[in-house]
Amino acid sequence: MLRRLSERINATDVVMFLIGGSILALVLVGSVATLTSGKYSAAQWFDLIVFGVALGGIYALIALGYTMVYGILRMINFAHSEVFMSGPFTAYFLADAWGRSGFLDENPVVCLLAIFVLAMAISLIVAVLLERIAYRPLRFAPRLVPLITAIGASFFLQYFFRGLYGPNIKPYPEIAALKPYLRFGDFRIQYVQILVIVAAALMMAGLQLIVQRTRVGKAMRAVAEDKQTAALMGIDVDSIIVLTFVIGGALAGAAGVLYALMFRQVSFIMGFIPGIKAFTAAVLGGIGNIPGAMVGGLFLGVIESLGPSLFLDGLGIPAPQQLKDAIAFTLLVLVLIFRPSGILGEKLAEKKA
Amino acid sequence: MAMLQVNDIHSYYGHIHALKGISLTVDKGEIVTLIGANGAGKTTTLKTISGTMHPRHGAITLDGEHIEGLPPHAIVMRGIGQSPEGRKIFGALTVQENLEMGAYARTDKPAIARDLDFVFTLFPRLAERKFQLGGTLSGGEQQMLAMGRALMTHPRVLMLDEPSMGLAPVLVEAIFETIQKLNQEGTTILLIEQNAAKALQVAKRGYVIETGQIVLQDTAENLRKSELVRKAYLGEM
Ligand SMILES: Nc1ncnc2c1ncn2[C@@H]1O[C@H](COP(=O)(O)OP(=O)(O)OP(=O)(O)O)[C@@H](O)[C@H]1O
Ligand SMILES: [Mg+2]
């Protein structure tokens, strides 16, 4: 009896569970200590949660690009972070010019729309070119080849835009209309955060509608499942793949503008950290799974925002906010240990991949 | 002139020379069957006709127009529909969505609705399970869905790759009845079967393929009598 049990449990499993268990225990102890210390007010917690949801919404929009491309091509598009950067970085010049002339504050709605449209268009074009030039010729190459190409394309795009627009971090203009706070009692939300949350929610709902209800959306799901059979149904697989990059690119461009509005700066490397975070979010949710990317993004955003204060402050760790990235990636490692398929993903082994 | 004409095609998997000069014709309104042992090249022939693979040599024409070299979706649009080997149902799509995918390249909405009704009357089982995911259907139901989905392309030539594979005898019977019924309603059919006896009952003509070559072709009646077919494919001594 005992021997059977010991045969089924191997040493790595035990070590993994011990690591996971102690991290969970730390998180619990830290949270309880923070909450009982009463150092943070309810309004402060609310601030952190709202910030986390807004950030998570941005992660989710980027993560959708990773997950949709993975779903269809079974590759990680590592250049997606540069797709995210290219749009808002280009739109910066429009925003900056309008900001200086005062046009931005006179017509914030028109200007914001124009900035979104321009950024989404540029990101979309970069994404489509990437597919056409870098990935399509490698469609039937071994899987490592497009992966390495993606990393190369990522660096190429970073330095291309560095050459084009310069190496400096550029300040996105502040839009006066987005500065005020909506207040109710002690609680408050800044308009810009409302914009980010609403815009992200609308785009995700729109995407879900397209994928579930429309003809091309169903074709995208069919192609993701089996390209050869989809083609036998009369589906032009190449055009569906292009469409996937179009949608992923446009969402990344929009996410980039939201990011620029929230953090008010752009640069040629602005995509790196959010890109990795969004990739993490996609894996958290279950790579290839669209609702998973949305859940994973929100989850990561909230944990990253709340985590340092909630988990670490109570443990007496100084300047816990600086450890937010450590928390994000610890979370990734934990998920990979305990649920490799992600929160909503099916077991990878069950997929034919 | 033959509706579908395959002329001396050679297909390769890398260095493997899988089809070594296959020629066959299918006339309008016929059921033609292609029989052969495992690995003979039956599926490869269908893949080459449907554009999933391109032949290195040879020509394929539909109503006199060359289709070899076209991408598969363009060949579907010209009127060749296929129920592939192993059914290949979209497991994460519902029965209805699977059928809609068959009609993907079509724009004639009223005709699509008519064909959908036709498929549902042909296979009432599918109508009952419209909103069930394809992956949760039984094997027989999946086979019906695969045929229904191919019919939704509104093919002039319907290619069926082992439609009775893995089905209980009652269902095999039902599938063959459906094939005959479709044919009576005007669909031209190219049928691949392991079950040579059954195939030769419904077909008008047949081809026997061995290691990538046609070794015999005749009317179904003559093939049933031929010694080669009786020994190798009908299991008679
Ligand atoms: N993807 C592939 N790569 C390499 N060789 C292949 C591939 N598919 C088929 N072959 C080879 O090509 C030959 C013909 O295969 P094909 O699938 O056409 O046979 P089949 O007549 O359909 O057999 P079955 O009755 O078993 O389905 C076989 O020798 C097979 O091993
Ligand atoms: Mg076969």
Consecutive 10-residue averages of pLDDT for chain A (353 residues): 65 81 83 79 86 94 93 91 95 89 85 93 96 91 90 93 91 84 87 92 92 93 94 95 95 94 91 92 88 91 85 75 83 79 60 38
Q: Does ligand 1 have an atom closer than 6 angstroms to the CB of B1?
A: no
Read off the pLDDT of residues B113-148 as tens digits, 9 standing for 90 and up. 999 999 999 889 999 999 999 999 988 899 999 999
Calculate mean pLDDT across residues B109-113: 93
State residue B226's pLDDT score. Answer: 83
Q: Which of A119-123, A156-160, B92-96, B217-221 has the lowest mean pLDDT?
A: B217-221
Q: Which of B19-28, B79-88, B166-175 has the lowest mean pLDDT?
A: B166-175
Q: What are phi and psi of A76, to 5 degrees?
A: -90, 120
Percent of chain B with pLDDT over 70: 97
CA of B30 to the centre of ligand 2 (A): 21
- Look at residue A182 and tell me if it is in a domain: yes
Neighbours of ion ligand 2 (CB under 5 A): B 42-43, 85
State residue A3's pLDDT score. Answer: 64
Closest CA of chain A from B3, distance in Å: 20
Same domain membership, residue A266 and residue A276: no
Last residue of a domain, one of A270, A295, A317: A270
Q: What is the largest CA-CA distance in chain A?
A: 80
Q: Does ligand 1 have an atom closer than 6 angstroms to the CB of B48?
A: no
Residue of A nearest to B103 (CA): A233
Distance (Å, rounded) from C-alpha B45 to C-alpha B35? 11
Q: Which residue has the tokens 């890398």?
A: B14
Q: Does ligand 1 have an atom closer than 6 angstroms to the CB of B40?
A: yes
Judge whether B219 and B205 are in contact, CB under 8 Å: yes
Distance (Å, rounded) from C-alpha A146 to C-alpha A140? 9
State residue A4's pLDDT score. Answer: 66
Domains, chain B, ranges and CATH? 4-232 (3.40.50.300)
Same domain membership, residue A207 and residue A168: yes
- Probe ligand 1: pick from B15, B33, B38, B44, max atoms within 8 Å of CB? B44
Please state, rounded to an integer, the average pLDDT across all residues of chain B.
91
Same domain membership, residue A151 and residue A170: yes
- Look at residue A25 and tell me if it is in a domain: no
- Look at residue A52 and tell me if it is in a domain: no
CB contact under 8 A, B101 and A231: no
- Look at residue A22 and tell me if it is in a domain: no
Same domain membership, residue A286 and residue A183: no
State residue A346's pLDDT score. Answer: 60
CA of B18 to the centre of ligand 2 (A): 12
Alpha-helical (H) ranges within A130-236 are: 144-165, 191-213, 215-225, 227-232
**What's at A156, amino acid-wise?**
F
- Look at residue A183 and tell me if it is in a domain: yes
- Look at residue A298 and tell me if it is in a domain: yes
Same domain membership, residue A296 and residue A283: yes
Q: What are phi and psi of B138, to 5 degrees?
A: -75, 165
- The residue whose CA has the least distance to atom 30 of ligand 1 is B39
State residue B148's pLDDT score. Answer: 92
Q: What is the dihedral of CA A337, A339, A342, A347, to 10 degrees?
A: 120
Name the more confident of B187 and B237. B187
Calculate mean pLDDT across residues B62-78: 93
Same domain membership, residue A241 and residue A221: yes
Q: What are phi and psi of B213, to 5 degrees?
A: -135, 145
Please tell me what DSSP assigns to residue B94.
B
Within 10 angstroms of residue B66's Cβ, the number of other Cβ atoms is 11
b (16+ CB within 10 A) / e for A87-115: bbbbbbebbbebbeeeebeeeeeebbebb
Distance (Å, rounded) from C-alpha A224 to C-alpha A72? 4
Same domain membership, residue A289 and residue A237: no
Last residue of a domain, one of A247, A270, A293: A270
- Look at residue A26 and tell me if it is in a domain: no
Last residue of a domain, one of A270, A298, A326: A270
In this complex, the residue of B82, B92, B97 whose CB is nearest that of residue A232 is B82
pTM for this prediction: 0.89
State residue B195's pLDDT score. Answer: 84
Same domain membership, residue A151 and residue A300: no
Judge whether B35 and B191 are in contact, CB under 8 Å: no
State residue B5's pLDDT score. Answer: 94
Same domain membership, residue A191 and residue A107: yes
Same domain membership, residue A338 and residue A236: no
Name the more confident of A30 and B103. B103
Confidence of residue B42 (pLDDT cuts 50, 70, 90): very high
Preferred mutation among B48, B75, B101 to probe A, highest tally of A CBs within 10 A: B101
Q: Does ligand 1 have an atom closer than 6 angstroms to the CB of B15?
A: no
State residue B161's pLDDT score. Answer: 94
Q: Does ligand 1 have an atom closer than 6 angstroms to the CB of B16?
A: yes
The count of domains in chain A is 2
Read off the pLDDT of residues B9-32 as tens digits, 9 standing for 90 and up. 999 999 999 999 999 999 999 999
ipTM more than 0.85?
yes
- Look at residue A106 and tell me if it is in a domain: yes
Q: Give the structural domain span for A286.
A: 271-353
Whether chain B has a CB inside 8 Å of the CB on A215: the answer is yes
State residue A2's pLDDT score. Answer: 60
Same domain membership, residue A326 and residue A198: no
Same domain membership, residue A172 and residue A315: no
State residue A353's pLDDT score. Answer: 35
Distance (Å, rounded) from C-alpha A317 to C-alpha A29? 13
CB contact under 8 A, B101 and A235: yes
